[in-house]
Amino acid sequence: MTQPLADLPNLGEKTADWLLAAGIPSEFELRQLGTIEACRKLLLNGQDINLLMAYALAGAIHDHHWNKLPPSLKQETRQNFRALQQKLGLK
Question: At CA 12, angle to CA 91 and CA 44, rounded to 5?
Answer: 30
**DSSP 8-state class, residue 44:** H
Give me the pLDDT at residue 1, please.
Answer: 57
Domain harbouring 64, CATH code: 1.10.150.20
All residue ranges of the chain with pLDDT < 70 are 1
Give the range of the structural domain holding residue 51, as residue numbers without chain letter: 5-87
Give me the pLDDT at residue 2, please.
Answer: 76
Q: What is the pTM of this model?
A: 0.94
Question: At CA 57, angle to CA 66 and CA 20, rounded to 5?
Answer: 150
Neighbours of 80 (CB within 10 A): 17
Number of domains in the chain: 1
Give me the pLDDT at residue 3, please.
Answer: 86
